Structure 1
Amino acid sequence: MLSAGLNTMSFSWVASPAATELEIVVVDWVAKLLNLPEQFLSKGNGGGVIQGSACEAILVVMIAARDKVLRSVGKKALEKLVVYSSDQTHSSLQKACQLAGIHLENCRVLKTDSSTNYALRPESLQEAVSKDLEAGLIPFFLCGTVGTTSSTAVDPLAALGKIAKSNEMWFHIDAAYAGSACICPEYRQYIDGVETADSFDMNAHKWLLTNFECSLLWVKDQSALTEALSTNPEYLKNKASQANLVVDYKDWQIPLGRRFRALKLWMVLRLYGAENLKSYIRNHIKLAKIFEQLVSKDPNFEVVTPRIFSLVCFRIAAVDNDEKTCNNLNRSLLDAVNSSGKLLFSHTILSEKFVLRFAIGAPLTEEKHVMEAWKVIQEEASFLLSK
């Protein structure tokens, strides 16, 4: 047994706990840090499980959602099931559709733009759902994102959740990157509306000082997972499982065997504690804000989307609206900076603009590194612009 205390991040050993029991403890700890609804805690019908990645998590819940619908409407309706997301949703959703047998022509990738900072518009979702219902299709799965890969856009969860509920769709929230920031009270607002979701996922290995792989998935109804994923061959039968005395996490995931991922997360929580983890995240966001200010003050550059967390999307500004030349300049800047060996950053495409991404997330990054990086970027940009 374990006696856990969230405020002090400590517990006393009464007996040597099993890996499963420790996992239940740590996922509940993090759920409380995020102030998730009680339905996601292990004491009720819901609970959490540590997956290898957010890609695995979204596949698992999609299979659960699929089977839940098919038990109601019949297996032959598989070709009518429709999935919804924005065009900023991670590509793992498409792979999940392929693996779950959802026809790709039934995957609605809804367009976003700069007017909403690339968040999914509820109006677009409602329009797409209405059209599919009129066509005799079955809307069954919606994926919202908190912190998209390209620009850390945040979808309006409460509004999306309302639409999902009214149409009996499974609502999954992918907060793989930005979920960690929401342990800070001032950033918790970005998951407001999580109470409308059926599942929620975040990666502790992205921004919570935990080694890969450690993706936390919570569901409100664990039976949806177990009914879709359970196997019970003779060689796995045991008295504890058959009497429902233990949680069989093999029925919450794709593989049968599983790593002891809970131990490393427990060690991070115990070593740093809640307040130090919050300070760690706040420092990265502060450094990103410093970089954003540097970009804003330079007339040769522009910030493309408002910074929310620790990612800054920027680029050399277009002259005379010549986007083609601007895109080529920024592509050359990316290559030049990365080839220097002094720093490494990445890019994305937003509204057909080639955008540079400056992401802060390494434990040892300090303000001096940000200043040095900006100096390199300015020097390379000045050289390109002079040509």
Structure 2
Amino acid sequence: MNAPHMDLDEFRRAGHAVVDWIADYWTTLHQRPVTSADPPGTVAEALPGSPPATGGEPVEAFLADLDAIVLPGLTHWQHPGFFGYFPANTSGPSLLGDLVSSGLGVQGMMWATSPACTELETVMMDWLAELLDLPPRFSSTGSGGGVIQDSASSATLVATLAALHRASGGRWRGAGIDRRYRAYTSVHGHSSIEKAARIAGLGADGVRALDVDPDTQALRPDALRAAIEADLAAGDVPAIVVATIGTTSTTAIDPVAEIGAICAEYGIWLHVDAAYAGAAAVCPELRWSHAGLEYADSYCFDPHKWLLTGFDCDAFWVADRSELVEALTVLPEYMRNAASESGAVLDYRDWQVPLGRRFRALKLWFVLRWYGVEGLRAHIRSGVALAARFADHVRADDRFELAAAHPFSLVCFRLRADDDTNAELLASVNATGRAHLTHTRVAGRYILRLAVGSPQTTEAHIDETWTLLAEAADKLLTR
């Protein structure tokens, strides 16, 4: 017998059960190991080999399998002891906004397909721009404006496409152009920059990865100028520079003002990637990191990293939206409508690579209304303070050293030992299941990274993680 559609009473009952399950999960999260110890294939082997011939299973059975099969195989990114990569934290208001978005089932590719989806997003992006004190040129009331991308990787890609459109005078079609076009970033620029260049047709060597200052790990403006001059002399076209506020390895801050002045001099598109650290600008005392942003042609940060908005939600702005739209517009007859042709509305399908769009602005609206400006500032300040507390532990122990500055909530450090010992230290601590850290390499050295971001993380979790590190170091150094 085929299962009927879920009626509204069943949906209401099941929905309550799912919300209760999530609340219970969050309540017990600190009791779970941060990462799974199961070998590869464990989850797949626990699942049936074929889909059910008939449906109608009760929701309780779904939830039981979540507990038995899925949870043991997860890395728990919301765990208070998760300090890996960068945070990707959600919150109750964000989850509720996503639930409403899913329930509405809106496809917001154009204003005409759901006017409220577009207009709410436009206003939310203007709210965020005000919250971060971004330059006025990014406001939708002028020639610029913002849009929600799925990730900073997509933001970098569309910025690259717009930059190539400008640099080629609108002739860019990827392969077949008779001149080489170049992108520039630091050696610590995100991997998405190289991927964007490959997708855009610049080739595997289309990005110049430039030297950084050995002390700050930030892009050297003199290295940028030299690379541009060399490419111009070779007949190449400098198209885009990607400066980073808060690099992935160490949260280094590129000198945007100096880089921006060079870009202005040569007419090169400047995209500023602040995927993680952009959230810090909600706090006035941390806005120094955004000095020079008035030079940027585009800018992005991820509310889904450090601003309590669940993945996926990247906030992306351009100073001149017409350049982005010209680069990305493809208009088949079946998309034509009176509102779009009037020029009075925004069609966000022209601001991104995919056609379709979810109603992501809802979760951002819920988060901003629930926490307010002061609540979000308190969250950011808490993360910065917890990172400073951990850094104090490192400084107080002569066996350890800080490996980079920590202006935000990431601390880079290492044991004063060889790389293999540091790798063993990381593995030992992660194996406890009480904390999870990741690593990078800076100037060839193996560095441990601790990134704070979970709203559930407290001083006790920081101190416990330090104790785990200190105890593991004792064993490694006395063996």
Same fold (TM over 0.5): yes
Residue 305 of structure 1 pairs with residue 397 of structure 2: no
Per-residue CA distance 1:34-90 (angstroms, 9 max, x = gap): 111111000111100000000000100110111122126776646411110000000
Q: Secondary structure at the match of 2:456?
A: coil
* Larger mean Cα displacement after TM superposition, 81-90 or 100-109: 100-109
**RMSD of the alignment, in Å?**
1.3
Distance in 1 (CA, whole Å) between partners of 2:373 and 2:170 is: 43
Match among 96, 104, 115 for residue 204 of structure 2: 104
Residue 208 of structure 1 pairs with residue 307 of structure 2: yes
Residue 35 of structure 1 pairs with residue 102 of structure 2: no
Match among 430, 445, 450 for residue 358 of structure 1: 450
Match among 297, 308, 319 for residue 198 of structure 1: 297
8 Å contact 1:144–1:173 — kept in the other structure? yes
Report what 1:244 is aligned to.
343
Question: What amino acid does structure 1 have at the position aligned with 2:137?
Answer: Q
8 Å contact 1:79–1:103 — kept in the other structure? no
Distance in 1 (CA, whole Å) between partners of 2:333 and 2:234 is: 45
8 Å contact 1:28–1:41 — kept in the other structure? yes
Go from structure 1 to structure 2 and tell me whether the alpha carbon gap of 1:262 and 1:348 turns closer, same or farther (over 3 Å shift): same
8 Å contact 1:79–1:102 — kept in the other structure? no
Residue 384 of structure 1 pairs with residue 476 of structure 2: yes
Report what 2:375 is aligned to.
276
Compare the two structures and name the one with the higher strand fraction.
Answer: 1
8 Å contact 1:146–1:179 — kept in the other structure? yes
Report what 1:4 is aligned to.
none
Aligned-residue offset at 1:104:
2.6
Higher relative contact order (CA 8 A, sep 6+): 2
8 Å contact 1:78–1:102 — kept in the other structure? no
For 1:93-242, list aligned pairs within 5 A.
93-115=193-215, 117-242=216-341
Aligned-residue offset at 1:273:
0.1
Aligned-residue offset at 1:246:
1.4
Aligned-residue offset at 1:353:
0.4
Distance in 2 (CA, whole Å) between partners of 1:231 and 1:349 is: 42
Distance in 1 (CA, whole Å) between partners of 2:285 and 2:262 is: 27
Unpaired runs of 5+ in structure 1? 1-15, 319-325
8 Å contact 2:299–2:317 — kept in the other structure? yes
Go from structure 1 to structure 2 and tell me whether the alpha carbon gap of 1:73 and 1:253 turns closer, same or farther (over 3 Å shift): closer
Report what 1:254 is aligned to.
353
Distance in 2 (CA, whole Å) between partners of 1:166 and 1:232 is: 35
8 Å contact 2:349–2:356 — kept in the other structure? yes
**TM-score, structure 2 normalization:** 0.74
Residue 44 of structure 1 pairs with residue 173 of structure 2: no
Q: Secondary structure at the match of 1:71?
A: coil
Q: Percent identity?
A: 47
Aligned-residue offset at 1:114:
2.7
Report what 1:20 is aligned to.
118
**TM-score, structure 1 normalization:** 0.92
Larger Rg: 2
Distance in 2 (CA, whole Å) between partners of 1:185 and 1:197 is: 20
Per-residue CA distance 1:154-213 (angstroms, 9 max, x = gap): 000000000011111000000000000011000011011000010000000000000100
Q: Secondary structure at the match of 1:142?
A: strand
Q: Secondary structure at the match of 2:371?
A: helix
Unpaired runs of 5+ in structure 2? 1-113
8 Å contact 2:302–2:315 — kept in the other structure? yes
Match among 310, 327, 342 for residue 419 of structure 2: 327
Question: What amino acid does structure 2 have at the position aligned with 1:263?
Answer: L
Q: How many residues align?
A: 364
Report what 1:288 is aligned to.
387
8 Å contact 1:143–1:174 — kept in the other structure? yes
Go from structure 1 to structure 2 and tell me whether the alpha carbon gap of 1:197 and 1:78 turns closer, same or farther (over 3 Å shift): farther
